[in-house]
Amino acid sequence: MQFLQSVIIRVCTTLITLIGVAVIVFFTVRVVPGNPIAMMLPPGATEADVARLTALYGLDKPIPQQFVIWLSGVLHGDFGTSITTKQPVLQLVLSRLPATLELSVMALSIAIVIGGIMALTGTRQRGTKTEAAIDVGNGMALSIPDFLWGLILILAFGVLIPIFHISGRVTPSLALPFTSNFYLTESLLRLRFDLWLDIAAHMFMPALALAIPLAAIIGQLLKQSLKETMHLDYVTLARTKGYGETHVILREALPNAILPTLTLVGVQFTFLIGGTVIIERLFSYEGLGNMAIDAVINRDLPLIQGIVILFAVIFTGVNLLVDLTYAALNPRLRHA
Amino acid sequence: MLDGRSQIKRKLPTRLVLSASWLILLAIAAICAPRIAPFDPLAQDLFLGQLPPFWVQGHEPGYLLGTDSLGRDVLSRILYGARLALTVALIAGSITCIIGATMGLLAGFLRGWVDIVISRAIDIWMAFPPVLFSILLIAVLGPSLTSIIIAIVVIDWTRFARVIRAEAMSQGAMDYVASAQIAGRSRVSTMLTEILPNVLPTITVLLTLEMGIAIIVEAILSFVNLSISTDDPTWGGMIAEGRASIHQTWWVLVFPLITLFLTVLSFSQLGEGLKDRFDPVLR
Amino acid sequence: MSFLTIHNLSARLKGRPDQILRRVSLQVAAGEVRGLVGESGAGKSMIGKAILGTLPNSVEISGGQIILDGTDLLALPPAQRRRLIGAKCALIPQDPLTALNPSRRIGPQITNRLVDILGWSRSDAEKRALNLLAEVQIPDPARVMRCYPHELSGGMRQRILIASAFAAEPKLIIADEPTTALDVTVQKQILKLIAAMQARHGTALLFVTHDLGVVSKVCQSLSVLYAGMVLEDSTIPDFFAAPKHPYSRALLQATPKYTDPDGSLTPVPDAVIAATRAEVEASDRSAHV
Ligand SMILES: Nc1ncnc2c1ncn2[C@@H]1O[C@H](COP(=O)(O)OP(=O)(O)OP(=O)(O)O)[C@@H](O)[C@H]1O
Ligand SMILES: [Mg+2]
């Protein structure tokens, strides 16, 4: 009962946050100097043309009224029409979302694998030089943001040892039989491993750049909580039963040490998704972030609004999901 | 606890020394840029375009780190870029720190509706993709130094507010604060004389880290060509040029990247090093 | 030949001269209950940890032997040693609140040693666990097997840990102050339970405690420890009739039950402590020669 109640409260605060985001974005983009309509018309267009188009996009009404119209549209799934491409914003955004989602999830998986290995190795080798080396490596990885890792990876594996692709999502000359934009997932489902390999090879560098700082955070935090757990009595008791170090770490300590890491990974995952904006730009990867920067440069207000709202929905959704998972995984909370 | 770590940490402020040295060196270079830069960073010379750095075949004496495709000297541009980077780090970092820390102190110590409003604002801010939001702000405000600073302050104040709020809350729960209150001091005066000094170490650490972040944000903004006017030398701008012509003139990317890397690493290591020094357990 | 023989065991903090155990010798015969008493910090737990191989990383064994059932543990490779300990020894820990893994159900925590280390079938192990839970007087064992630790009281958990210790029919159980973390009312029951289980299974027991009153009820022999050194090694009747070492005598006097119940409690006198310290130091010096 209590659990349900806290879920409802959590969902409500999430909605308030989203409305806050919508208000701020809406009013921020309205302040843009220069008339975006005038920019999209060919030179020599008349005042009347500008006025007609302005009215068409609803930009002539007072701003609060524009907001109400826009919000009621949003609630009906209508995010308006992109000024530059004249396509519905929702359609544009949804067509790019899969690319960004696949990139983010790949990055998260890489981060969990690297971070997990670092934490487990560091715990297994605690007190040795290996642990010290892992600590130094984690410290470095944490200090450097994804943008710089991206550039370093481009130099290292795009130029110095050119083994990975450093731009685009897929080799342009390949014929793609896909019906969705989840290229990586769909190529796997269609058993087209040749395509999968090409797409993964394009994705690997940007995903790694996004993953490195998160891997370091996971490595540090998980190692710390593993080491704390290793001192607890039930771990000692398991040792006296005849279990070896590896079993003790994996079976006894890890399930209890992982919960605090999980919450943090949730928040950090939203930071990672935020990082896709610049990383997609850096690697010319055709995702949401890249489209967002183009939209800003072209002053495509409806599109900017749509993308920012979508990001906010993803961020708050991830956080909500993490909180619920946390509650579901922790037996003490579940039965409380 | 009896383990060797505490001793090692005390023995090795090496990272503090190293990072501080690099930052001081960079600051001096930035201040003296007009005197020590070998060339005018804006001077184009198409006959001297795409010169490699001094140890590579085909270099031109004087152009130590080579030139870009327009024949502008890479070293001079890095030096002038440092001026912008450090200016942004100092000004944007400090303003972010003052605003964010104030918000955090107010929310954490006064609690009540102030806390509710500020916490809600923090929640909303955390739902924005920060890079995209800063780019959007620059597009709205128009590219200029002031815009960069405003964008950084607007997206990053929550970094301070979140941490300082939590610290102020735990400090506010302690006995000495209660006794100051009983002694009849006003809440604001208690906040400034009892809480602020105790969160000052944290603020210092966060400020140091924030300066590194500000430099990265500035680099990202100039990378997408939204920093200051397009001609002025910026590290991010050079990196963007270098990225575009990476297979022809790698040095246009590599040297600003190394400078940016070392600077960001130094700020971060300085911050972490200070954190260890301030940590009473390790002291 | 005793089941457990500790011979001249010394331990110290790694890389430092600080002695934690000083040439400790003690024996536990098969089926015997030996008390191990001493003030806090005397090194009682360290002896238990040395036997079980769970010493903290900062402590190293600097000499001596631990012979379990004829095998010198310290000479075995770690994996083999662990398996031997797992099969022949068990621990009843001090604090039942922290000695059960909070994220696993009770059942597997009792059966895991049987299945993973000793190769029992899962159903046999579960049957065994159910019997043992009934034996330690847990109501509705089948339900408890499916519980998480936080759903059970401290006394219940300690019963479960006792059941778990006896699960593999070990030859030696080390109980490190198994009741100090419990309610006074529960302490007596748990103590009785341990004694009854020990008698029924004929397991040797090394019983670590501060409390001479408990020792007199549960144990057959005892070792008195001070600053990591064994001062006295007697049978219970001999000890309570006439303790040999002045420190033991003072310790006995400091225990309320064995002095006049109305009389005031006499702490161990400073003079006795000083004399004992001197003895410890003298023995250190002689060991260095
Ligand atoms: N993790 C550790 N690292 C280093 N020294 C330790 C550690 N744990 C205990 N010691 C030291 O070892 C000595 C013996 O400790 P031990 O825990 O065996 O005492 P004890 O007799 O069990 O005391 P108590 O009755 O309080 O449990 C003490 O001097 C203690 O300071
Ligand atoms: Mg003890």
Distance from the alpha carbon of residue C10 to the mean position of ligand 1, in angstroms:
14
CB contact under 8 A, C53 and A256: no
Q: Which among A176-180, A210-214, B196-200, B227-231 has the top mean pLDDT?
A: A210-214
Phi/psi of residue A166, each to 5°?
A: -120, 10
> Residues of chain C whose pLDDT is less than 70?
1, 256-266, 288-289
Torsion sign (Cα): B104, B109, B114, B119: positive
What span, in angstroms and rounded, lies between the C-alpha atoms of B196 and A146? 33
- Taking the centre of ligand 1 as the mean of its atom positions, its distance from the CA of residue C41, in whole angstroms, is 5
Neighbours of ion ligand 2 (CB under 5 A): C 45
Cα gap C235→C220, rounded to integer Å: 6
Residue B50 buriedness (CB in 10 A; 0-12 / 13-18 / 19+): middle
**Measured from the CB, is residue C180 less than 6 Å from ligand 1?**
no
* Alpha helix positions (H), chain B: 5-11, 14-31, 33-36, 74-105, 112-126, 130-141, 145-172, 175-182, 187-190, 196-223, 235-244, 250-278
Burial class (CB in 10 A: 0-12, 13-18, 19+), B90: middle
The closest of C46, C44, C50 to C74, measured between CA atoms, is C50
Q: Percentage of residues in chain B with pLDDT exceeding 90?
A: 31
Does residue A218 sit in helix, strand or coil? helix
Ligand (nearest to CA of C40): 1
Mean pLDDT of A96-119: 95
Are residues B85 and B261 in contact, defined by beta-carbon separation less than 8 angstroms?
no
| Tokens linked to A197 | 């390999």
Give every CB contact of residue A19 below 8 A, 6+ residues apart in sequence.
none
Residue with tokens 């383990």: B3
Give B58-118 as a DSSP string. T--TT-TT-B-TT--BHHHHHHHHHHHHHHHHHHHHHHHHHHHHHHHHIIIII-HHHHHHH
Contacts of B7 (CB under 8 A, 6+ apart): none
Return the ligand 1 atom nearest residue C225 CA: 21
CB contact under 8 A, A32 and B139: yes
Q: Is C109 in the pocket of ligand 1 (CB under 6 A)?
A: no
Please tell me if residue B124 touches chain A, with a CB cutoff of 8 Å: yes
CB contact under 8 A, B3 and C13: no
Write down the pLDDT at residue B55: 73
Name the strands in the sheet holding C172-176, side by side, starting at the edge strand that comes first in the sequence: C89-92, C172-176, C204-209, C33-37, C221-226, C229-235
Instruction: Copy the structure tokens of residue A315.
Output: 């961020």
Of the candidates A24, A292, A297, the beta carbon closest to that of B132 is on: A292
Size of interface A-C (CB pairs under 8 A): 71
For ligand 1, say whether the CB of C41 is within 6 Å of any of its atoms. yes
C242 Cβ inside 6 Å of ligand 1 = no
CB atoms within 10 A of CB A127: 14
Q: Looking at the DSSP assignment, which residues form a beta bridge with residue C21?
A: C11
Q: Which two tokens stand for residue C283?
A: 């023995």
Phi, psi (5° rounding) for residue A80? 90, -170
Q: Residue with the nearest Cα to atom 1 of ligand 1?
A: C56
| C57 ligand 1 Cβ < 6 A | no
Range in A297-306, B39-48, B126-135 the model is least confident about: B39-48
Task: Give the mutation candidate from C103, C120, C172, C180 for the A interface (greatest A CB count, under 10 A).
Answer: C103
Distances (CA, A) of A34 to A41, A301, B109, B139, B142: 13, 12, 43, 11, 10
Min Cα distance A326 → chain C (Å) is: 13
Q: Does A232 touch chain B (CB under 8 A)?
A: no
Helices (H), A283-330: 288-297, 301-329
Pairing mode of beta strands C89-92, C172-176: parallel
Closest Cα in chain A, distance from residue C243 (Å): 34
Q: Burial level of A183, CB count in 10 A (0-12/13-18/19+)?
A: buried
**A151, B257 contact by CB (below 8 A):** yes
- For residue C275, the CA-to-ligand 2 centroid distance in Å is 24
Kindly state whether A39 is in contact with chain B, defined as any CB-CB distance less than 8 angstroms: no
Mean of pLDDT values over A305-329: 85
pLDDT at A230 over 80: yes
For residue B262 the two structure tokens come to: 């070392």
Q: Does the beta carbon of C181 lie under 8 angstroms from any beta carbon of chain A? A: no
Nearest-CA residue for ligand 1 atom 24 is: C40
What is the pLDDT, as a whole number, of residue A299? 81
Amino acid at position B172, single letter: G
Q: What is the pLDDT of residue A61?
A: 76
Decide whether any atom of ligand 1 lies within 6 Å of the C13 Cβ.
yes
Looking at residues A220-230, what average pLDDT do you find? Answer: 93
Q: Is the pLDDT of residue B231 over 60?
A: yes
Using a 6 Å cutoff on CB, does residue C59 contact ligand 1? yes
How far apart are the CA of C45 and the centre of ligand 1, in A? Answer: 7
**Which ligand ends up closest to the CA of C44?**
1
User: Are the Cβ atoms of A155 and B129 closer than 8 angstroms?
Assistant: no
Q: Using CA atoms, how far apart are residues A254 and A211, in angstroms rounded to an integer?
A: 21
Q: Which atom of ligand 1 is nearest to the CA of C210?
A: 25
Contacts of A17 in chain B (CB under 8 A): 120, 123-124, 127
Interval between CA B6 and ligand 1 midpoint (Å): 21
What does the pLDDT average to over A277-289?
92
The HSE-up count of residue C54 (CA atoms within 13 Å, CB side) is 27
User: Which ligand is nearest the CA of C210, by number?
Assistant: 1
CA dihedral sign, ordered C10, C11, C17, C20? negative
pLDDT of A336 reads 41
Per-residue confidence band for A44, with pLDDT thresholds at 50, 70 and 90: low
Model confidence over B175-199: pLDDT tens digits?
Answer: 677 777 677 777 778 778 878 888 8
C283 has a chain A CB within 8 A of its CB: no
Residue type at C286? S
The two three-digit tokens of residue A103, written as one number: 């990139």
Coil, helix or strand at residue C222: strand
| pLDDT higher than 50, residue B208 | yes
Kindly report, residue by residue over B10-31, the tens digit of the pLDDT: 555 788 889 999 999 999 988 8
Q: What is the pLDDT of residue A7?
A: 81
Single pTM value for the model: 0.85
Check residues A325 and B87 and name the one with the higher pLDDT: B87
Residue B5 is predicted with a pLDDT of 44
Phi, psi for C55 (deg, rounded to 5): -60, 145
C174 backbone dihedrals φ, ψ, rounded to 5°: -105, 120
From the CA of C144, how far away is ligand 2's center (Å)?
29
Between CA A125 and CA C249 the distance in angstroms is: 47
pLDDT of residue A114: 96
pLDDT at residue B226 tops 50: yes
Asked if residue C181 has its Cβ within 6 Å of ligand 1, the reply is no
Contact B3 C58 (CB under 8 A): yes
Q: Which two tokens stand for residue B240?
A: 């963007």
pLDDT band with cut points at 50, 70 and 90 for residue A188: confident
- Are the beta carbons of B132 and A274 separated by less than 8 Å? yes
Is residue A134's pLDDT more than 90? yes
- With a cut of 60, say whether residue A335 has pLDDT above it: no
**Taking an 8 Å Cβ-Cβ cutoff, which residues of chain A contact chain C?**
126-127, 232-234, 236-244, 247, 252, 255-256, 331-332, 335
Which of C45, C62, C180 to probe ligand 1 with, by most ligand atoms within 8 A of CB?
C45
CA distance A273 to B136: 17
Distance from CA of B184 to the nearest CA of A (A): 37
Contact A243 C86 (CB under 8 A): yes
Burial of C191 from C-beta contacts in 10 A (0-12 / 13-18 / 19+): buried
C93 lines ligand 1 (CB under 6 A): no
B5/C contact by beta carbon, under 8 A? no
Choose among B133, B136, B107, B102: nearest CA to B119.
Answer: B107
Contacts of A158 in chain B (CB under 8 A): 246
Return the pLDDT at B283. Answer: 39
Interface chains of chain C (3 or more CB pairs under 8 Å): A, B
**Has residue B139 got a pLDDT over 70?**
yes
- What is the per-residue burial (b if ≥16 Cβ within 10 Å, else e) of B251-275? bbbbbbbebbbbbbbbbbbbbbbbb
Structure ipTM: 0.87
CA C228 / ligand 1 centre spacing (Å): 10
Alpha-carbon radius of gyration of chain C = 20
pLDDT of residue C223: 94
Give the nearest chain A residue to B127 (CA atoms). A312
pLDDT at res. B16:
86
Q: Nearest-5° angle of CA C196, CA C198, CA C204? A: 160
C58 — contact with chain B (CB < 8 Å)? yes
Decide if B132 touches A, using CB distance below 8 A: yes
Kindly tell me if the per-residue pLDDT of B254 is higher than 60. yes
* pLDDT at res. A43: 63
Contact status, residue C212 vs residue C40, Cβ threshold 8 Å? no
Beta carbon pairs, B and C, within 8 Å? 3
Does residue B174 carry a pLDDT above 80? Answer: no
Instruction: Evaluate: CB of C46 within 6 angstroms of ligand 1.
Output: yes
Question: How many angstroms is it from C263 CA to the middle of ligand 2?
Answer: 29
Alpha-carbon gap, residue B228 to B237, rounded angstroms: 10
CA of C35 to the centre of ligand 2 (A): 13
Q: Where are the alpha helices (DSSP H) in chain C?
A: 44-52, 78-88, 106-112, 122-135, 141-145, 154-166, 184-201, 212-218, 236-241, 246-253, 270-288
